Amino acid sequence: MKKIFIPFILFTLASLRGFACDVCGCANSGSYFGLMPQSHKSIIGVRYNYLYFDTHPDSKLLATKETFNVAELYGRFFPFKRVQVMAFVPYRFDEQVTSAITKKNSGPGDITALASYSIFNGLMDGESSSDFTHSFLAGGGVKLPTGKFRYNENDPLQVANANFQLGTGSVDFILNAFYTLNWKKWGLSTNISRKFNTKNAEGYRFGNQLYGSADLFHTISLGRLSLMPGIGIYGEYSAHGRQNDVILDITGGTIINGSAGLTLFAEKWMLGITAQKPVHQKSASGHVFLRDRLQVQLGFLF
């Protein structure tokens, strides 16, 4: 009897978690670009994102803890004077812990490539000696299905959850805009993005998304070093997902995070850390709660 009962419980838990939010640390999560100052320079670097979620925290049967660890190689380049190209190549280590079992998933994630046109850029236009400079870029890009999206809902040892996959399994399209303002030692960096998701081979389509951030920062000169503390806000909205063209009411949601960070510049090198805490959230009809989000990045400017 015990041999029958345990697989039954595992299957029940997997089925109840079959659909979760589209707003998360999952492969469909919006990109937090963070502070990327000196908008006229190219940069190549690595960054690490950590996200921690509680699902059904008040339920002894359904309570789940999920952590998403994403290591990412990223770059920003200017193949032409006013054309900016950015690319993000992630590798994911994800874990889901329930009262019955711990499930892990790791491997390459979905690659994103973006291209933007610099409509105006004070630093590129020779205004670097002015107390006031600003820049505005607009463009778009594509997210490629390089991460694995495949699971068996009838296998209790797998995470039967579209959001716990390494990729979305679909080619998705992005429109974005970046605006940066600098006045003496102060600056404001903003961006907004709209993501349009398509249906993958398994008939699942994540909800379209709108996400963006605004960060206020201040530069402190320390000899050959510069220190840049900053505070800001990040928001993300996702519409309901669809399975075989049927709307999944328990998917989608909204999250707004407050953020604080510190970036150190040493000649051509930069090292930054940003922490986020939610100030408002409603994901998966209020069943999923973001607890922490952390980003650490190391970059080389050239």
How high is the pLDDT of residue 126? 61
How high is the pLDDT of residue 162? 77
List CB contacts of 213: < 8 A, sequence separation 6 or more: 32, 33, 189, 190, 191, 232, 233, 234, 235, 259
Of 237, 295, 277, 272, the residue nearest 37 (C-alpha)? 272
pLDDT above 50 for 32: yes
Higher-confidence position of 4 and 81: 81
List CB contacts of 214: < 8 A, sequence separation 6 or more: 188, 189, 190, 232, 233
Strands 225-238 and 220-222: antiparallel
Q: How confident is the model at residue 39 (pLDDT cuts 50, 70, 90)?
A: low
**Which tens digit of pLDDT belongs to each residue from 10-29?**
333 333 333 445 555 566 66
**Which tens digit of pLDDT belongs to each residue from 216-260?**
999 999 989 999 999 999 999 999 999 999 998 888 899 999 999
pLDDT above 70 for 146: yes
Type of residue at 21: C
Strand partners, 93: 69, 106
List CB contacts of 257: < 8 A, sequence separation 6 or more: 233, 234, 235, 276, 277, 278, 279, 290, 293
Could you give the CA distance from residue 254 to residue 259 in angstroms, rounded to a whole number?
A: 16
Q: Integer distance in angstroms from the first to the last C-alpha of the chain?
A: 66
**Which tens digit of pLDDT belongs to each residue from 253-299?**
999 999 999 999 998 999 999 999 999 998 876 678 888 899 999 99
How high is the pLDDT of residue 31? 64
Higher-confidence position of 20 and 49: 49
Any idea which architecture 2-301 has in CATH?
A: Beta Barrel (2.40)
DSSP 202-240: TSEEPPPEEEEEEEEEE-EEETTEEEEEEEEEEEEEEPP
DSSP SS3 for 156: coil
Q: How confident is the model at residue 139 (pLDDT cuts 50, 70, 90)?
A: very high
Q: What is the mean pLDDT of residues 205-222?
A: 95
Q: What is the mean pLDDT of residues 183-198?
A: 94
Could you give the CA distance from residue 90 to residue 109 in angstroms, rounded to a whole number?
A: 5
Tokens encoding 189:
């960096």
Tokens encoding 237:
């909205």
Type of residue at 287: H
* Domain segments of the chain as ranges: 2-301
Sheet holding 241-243, edge to edge: 204-205, 241-243, 246-248
Higher-confidence position of 282 and 124: 282
Q: Are 171 and 141 in contact, with CB atoms under 8 Å apart?
A: no
DSSP 43-94: EEEEEEEEEEEEESTT-TTT-EEEEEEEEEEEEEEEEETTEEEEEEEEEEEE
For residue 193, the tally of other CB atoms under 10 A from its CB is 21
CA distances from 163 to 94, 107, 110, 147 (A): 11, 15, 13, 12
How high is the pLDDT of residue 98? 83
- In sign, the C-alpha dihedral spanning 206, 50, 143, 96 is negative
pLDDT above 90 for 3: no
**Torsion (CA) 191, 196, 200, 203 in degrees, nearest 10:** 130
pLDDT above 80 for 1: no
Q: What is the mean pLDDT of residues 63-70?
A: 90
